[in-house]
Structure 1
Amino acid sequence: MALEAAKLVAGLRETFGSGKTKSYEWRVSQLKAIVKLADEREKDIIGALRSDLNKSEFESYVHEISGVKKSCKLALKELHQWMTPEKVKTSSTTFPSSAEIVSEPLGVIMVISTWNYPFLLSLDPIVGAISAGNTVVLKPSEIAPATSSMLSKLIHEYMDSSAVKVVEGAVPETTALLEQKWDKIFYTGSCKVGRIILAAAAKHLTPVILELGGKCPVVVDKNINLEVAARRIISGKWCSNNGQTCVAPDYVITTKAFASKLIDALISELEKFFGKEPLKSQDLSRIVNSNHFNRLEKLLDDEKVSDKIVHGGQRDETNLKIAPTILLDVPEDSLIMKEEIFGPLLPIITVNKIEDSISVINAREKPLAAYLFTDEKKLEEEFIGSVSAGGMSINETTLHVTDSSLPFGGVGESGMGSYHGKFSFDAFSHKKAVLRRSFAGDAAARYPPYTPEKLRLIKALLDGNILAIVRALVGW
């Protein structure tokens, strides 16, 4: 297996060394191929996502297929500009000269994707790697086997198979790949595996982007449009893969006085969206497999929270479904508050003053996303200034991830590095500094033998003291 991985990487290095992936034309052809794949095989993609996660056609298209197409179309529109060297100013030290920053591809990239958005999170990083002119290996998640198999087949069919390859499998295959030397590794998944990726990359000094997760908080103030806020919280939590999303709201903080109103609003809107029997709703994704179902059951059955359920809690083990579930005033030392939930359970923590929510968040690891619902500008400014998170949305959840003008990535425990839009291009590029000088203007002062006069001139130049420069030049 290790030998096969080594041959794979060697082949990709040979392709990269040929220089063909660096051309604008090749990059454009591969981006267009991804768009064509998404258009022509839309039904196949939707079918695979339904098989793996019971995703509705709406969720599959809006949350996955359209995101890939959007990334490709933006790259196609902006690629020429992204590739153009950036002219920069030079200093008096290098006068006369010109300088620029050249974006060059890193080389051979490995993308290890995850199962919750297996189409989007496989191809979106590849869009960035291809745009930057790299060769790529994709290791899709074995937990979404239908999508993994489909990607292996379609990428080979639509894209340049000498430059973009797919390796299916589980831990042994991933381990063999990690033993190789890469020019960058992009990983989406858990903190536990992220540490394994980082340790493996360190052996070769390989840079990494880690898109991890964490417990994303939602702070809800009282002076809001409660109906709209409830809908947006539900949308981020249960309408996006039934909570199996890295930026999904993980827990809510509100005041003791406002909690009952918030819960009533959430319940009312949940019933509008999924009916009174949500386990029968075709719009509610299932839990990905029995292991994750059992993990979520364990969180619910914890004796510290079993009596804290105020809505939901219904389960269908046969179909791997858990209804949207709200819990109130769960203890800080309960399992559900120690682990990232990654499912349809939403604990609510209450505080005396809404401002106290900031210290509650800051007592934990830095989350991938943080959300605030308020009309108070002062609280908004304090929240943005005091809470460290990968990204934020004010009076919304998760939508900041969809804006290509914003970087998406974590901080601290929630990850490192970012991508989306031009940030994806930059993530897989090296910014190479280039300085150009003519043979004119060669100053004797920079060369030995060093004299007091030369030192005075060099000091004046380095300090930018024009009068001192003039004095030094005229021998004062």
Structure 2
Amino acid sequence: WEGKGLLSAFQTGCTTKESFRLAQLEALVRMLGEHECDFVDALGRDLHKPRFETVVSELLLVKNEALHAINSLKKWMQPQRVERNLSTTLDDCLVVSEPLGVVLIMGTWCSPVLFCLGPLVGAIAAGNCAVISPSEHTSHTAELLHRLVPSYLDSECFHVILAGTNDLADIVELKFDHVFFGSRVAQAAARTFTPVTLILGGKNPCYVDQQCDITATAQRIAWARFHNAGQSVVAPDYVLCHVDVKTRLVRALKCCLMQFYGSDPRESRSFGRMVNLEIINRTRDMLWRSGKVAVGGQVIEAEKYIAPTILTEVVETDPIMQHDVFGPVLPVLTVNTLDEAITFINKQEKPLCVYAYSSNSKVISRLMSETSSGSFCSNDSVLQSVMVGLPFGGVGASGMGSYHGRYSFDAFSHRKSCLLRGTRFECVTYLRYPPYEDRNLSLMTWASTLSQKSQGWCQIL
């Protein structure tokens, strides 16, 4: 691919036209529909991902993002008027969204279609040219995107590159206008002052109160943790279980695993595999050195298989609690009070998600307000991260920036402030001109000072 070619394409202004943006978004929707089977096959090869998971958690989510953008694009593109004060009564105060230019979107292996094409929707809607770099660890999906994208999207404005991890820093040195999911090359981006959106994950806590529906709680936690064989940045990373419900919760989780995957999950068509040996070995080492296996624990390296596993008797210093878990392992810790749970969560780095299960609204309210995280969800997991109307992103150690829906459009736009004035008030604005006089200063001070009760003549200049 040629970076200068993309820049030249952007400079023609073709991507800024509403008709162009709509056409590209509609083409993206067609690509997903016409090649559903190809995507299912590619993700099956890369992750042993069940068709159900591929369609629901990858293709459908991207399609919904694109359809939402198509339906909302005209409104998003309109300048936003800002409330005027006395000094701008006859002027226009506007915020205009303009495209950034040429952006780089780096996919991840845990959701290789969603994390490539989801952000691309925002880049297209905002009027940018884009380079998509799928993860090398999901090679079949990467090769499929490399083949399909030029057949559906404008090949002068959108490129897919097959690059290894070692190549990405050099690619970023070419100076993009924005890098999305840039954790692997954040330092390289910083050297060129390239803004980034980072989704870094983190250890997502899941508090289970004694006042909750244990059966529904177990089902929703098990689905979220073991979906895609646990390879997810938004899955519950560990459970903080009230001591009164630990036994019942662990028993309910075991029942869920039997219900979801049968007596031998290795034979289940609904359970995936790990992406590579590096992730297998890392997860296995943490698993075997932490807590006590309540169910699961089997590892078959040759098949890239780790059984869905629940750990009990886990303590804060165990290896499984010191690192992010990208595998089908759920540690269960106990706490005696809600205060203890909140203290435990706040001792850690700010996570991408906090989950709370309780039928007591006061418990939910306290966890939501007294902890900090990229997102929060009560009595369910993951769903808050896929809703087009909610921004999704991290805070602190779990990332910066957000996307989804309008927030994706804003992530790939520069919000330019515009003041459109005339020259009719020169009889007032002359007060700012030299030679400076005390009388003029007094008038300017009086006219420009905000009142505690009203805006006043702010910014008379």
Pick the TM interval, shorter chain. over 0.9
Query: Which of the residues 440, 443, 454 maps onto 1:454?
Result: 440
Contact 1:93–1:461 (Cα < 8 Å) also in 2: no
Structure 1 CA distance for aligned equivalents of residues 76 and 44 of structure 2: 36
Structure 2 CA distance for aligned equivalents of residues 123 and 73 of structure 1: 13
Aligned partner of 2:281 in structure 1 is: 294
Q: Does 1:410 align with 2:397?
A: no
Instruction: Give the deviation of 1:97 after TM superposition.
Output: 1.4
Q: Does 1:217 align with 2:205?
A: yes
Please list the CA deviations of residues 24-49 of structure 1 after superposition, one character each: whole Å capped at 9, or x if unmatched: 01101110110010011111011000
Instruction: Give the deviation of 1:94 after TM superposition.
Output: 4.1
Please list the CA deviations of residues 180-235 of structure 1 after superposition, one character each: whole Å capped at 9, or x if unmatched: 111100016xxxxx2x5221112221110001111111100111111111110011
Instruction: Give the deviation of 1:460 after TM superposition.
Output: 1.4
Contact 2:375–2:384 (Cα < 8 Å) also in 1: yes
Structure 2 CA distance for aligned equivalents of residues 341 and 234 of structure 1: 15
**Alignment map for 1:256-335 (pairs within 5 Å):** 256-302=243-289, 304-305=290-291, 308-335=292-319
- In structure 2, runs of 5+ residues without a counterpart are none
Aligned partner of 1:131 in structure 2 is: 125
Amino acid at match of 2:108: T
Provide the identity percentage.
38
Contact 1:279–1:316 (Cα < 8 Å) also in 2: no
Contact 1:93–1:462 (Cα < 8 Å) also in 2: no
Give the 3-state SS of the residue equivalent to 1:123 in structure 2: helix
Aligned partner of 1:350 in structure 2 is: 334
Contact 1:89–1:98 (Cα < 8 Å) also in 2: no
TM-score by length of 1: 0.92
Give the 3-state SS of the residue equivalent to 1:282 in structure 2: coil
Return closer, same or farther for 1:45/1:462 CA change in 2, 3 Å cut-off.
same
Structure 2 CA distance for aligned equivalents of residues 326 and 333 of structure 1: 17
Structure 1 CA distance for aligned equivalents of residues 242 and 367 of structure 2: 16
Query: Which of the residues 174, 184, 187 maps onto 1:199?
Result: 187
Instruction: Give the deviation of 1:440 after TM superposition.
Output: 0.8
Give the 3-state SS of the residue equivalent to 1:288 in structure 2: coil
Contact 1:92–1:461 (Cα < 8 Å) also in 2: no
Query: Which of the residues 25, 29, 32 maps onto 2:26?
Result: 32
Amino acid at match of 1:29: A
Contact 2:240–2:333 (Cα < 8 Å) also in 1: yes
Runs of 4+ in 1 over 6 A off after TM superposition: none
**Alignment map for 1:371-450 (pairs within 5 Å):** 371-442=355-426, 443=428, 444-450=430-436
Give the 3-state SS of the residue equivalent to 2:273 in structure 1: coil
Structure 2 CA distance for aligned equivalents of residues 229 and 270 of structure 1: 13
Aligned length: 452
Contact 2:136–2:165 (Cα < 8 Å) also in 1: no
Return closer, same or farther for 1:464/1:214 CA change in 2, 3 Å cut-off.
closer
- In structure 1, runs of 5+ residues without a counterpart are 189-193, 471-476
Instruction: Give the deviation of 1:95 after TM superposition.
Output: 4.8
What is the alpha-carbon root mean square deviation over aligned residues? 1.6
Structure 2 CA distance for aligned equivalents of residues 181 and 327 of structure 1: 45
Structure 2 CA distance for aligned equivalents of residues 316 and 173 of structure 1: 31
Amino acid at match of 1:216: N
Structure 1 CA distance for aligned equivalents of residues 199 and 239 of structure 2: 23
**Alignment map for 1:33-182 (pairs within 5 Å):** 33-182=27-176
Aligned partner of 1:473 in structure 2 is: none
Structure 2 CA distance for aligned equivalents of residues 415 and 157 of structure 1: 33
Please list the CA deviations of residues 390-426 of structure 1 after superposition, one character each: whole Å capped at 9, or x if unmatched: 0011000001012111100001111000000100000
Contact 2:218–2:256 (Cα < 8 Å) also in 1: yes
Structure 1 CA distance for aligned equivalents of residues 61 and 165 of structure 2: 28
Structure 2 CA distance for aligned equivalents of residues 366 and 463 of structure 1: 40
Structure 2 CA distance for aligned equivalents of residues 75 and 285 of structure 1: 31
